[in-house]
Amino acid sequence: MSELADGKENNFNLQTPSNPMKLLKEIKFIVVHHTRGDYDSIDKIKEFHTKVRGWKDIGYHWVIGDGKGLIDGKLYKGRSEKFIGAHVKGFNQNSIGIVLVGNFDKAPPSKKQIETLIKFLKAKMKKYKISSGNILGHNETKDATKTCPGRFIDMNWIRSKLLSLSQQAAG
């Protein structure tokens, strides 16, 4: 994924020797989110997660920009994949979280955001040997009460596209 990400680590890791983040041991799921608001930069998301929610770092492992505060379709690193995220109750211990900047209950994501999301998911599925059935929208997880990743992101279409791409690659 280095060709999509800028290759820079964020400076947001607030763990200390007396307050370490827990290691992510196995990745079985990838959970897709939207910011749902005007969090147009990684700094703003990070500030909300650490100062308002009290988390140790940005909750998501990856962020896809929307062209307003971040470059449209660009993949940015969030929390290291070495550590358990803080993005969906009951799934943090065995998933990575990716968020697209924007409110997709109000408008669809950009074409570039979807293209980057598909490339990202395809690469991570291969890396972690995850099936398309384990690519979930936040709203598809147990006890979810949110619409996240929004009504304009069709997770069934995304899984179908990923399955089609994996079948093309296989033969």
* pLDDT > 60? residue 170: yes
Name the pTM for this structure. Answer: 0.88
* pLDDT > 50? residue 2: no
Q: For the segment 115-136, what is each residue's pLDDT rounded down to a tens digit?
A: 999 999 999 999 999 999 999 9
Residue matched to tokens 């995850």: 130
What are 23's strand-pairing partners?
A: 83
Q: What percent of the chain has pLDDT over 90?
A: 74
For residue 37, what pLDDT band results from cuts at 50, 70 and 90? Answer: confident
Question: Rounded to an integer, what distance in angstroms lies between the CA atom of residue 81 and that of residue 23?
Answer: 9
* pLDDT > 70? residue 7: no
Question: Rounded to an integer, what distance in angstroms lies between the CA atom of residue 37 and that of residue 18?
Answer: 33
Cβ pair 128, 90 in contact under 8 A: no
**Average pLDDT of the chain?**
88
- Residue type, position 29, single letter: F
Question: Rounded to an integer, what distance in angstroms lies between the CA atom of residue 128 and that of residue 14?
Answer: 27
Let me know if domain 29-166 sits in CATH 3.40.80.10: yes
Q: Given this model, what pLDDT does residue 13 score?
A: 46
Domain ranges of the chain: 29-166
- The residue-averaged pLDDT of 45-69 equals 93
State residue 30 phi and psi, 5-degree precision. -125, 130
Q: For the segment 77-96, what is each residue's pLDDT rounded down to a tens digit?
A: 999 999 999 999 999 999 99
- The residue-averaged pLDDT of 19-25 equals 84
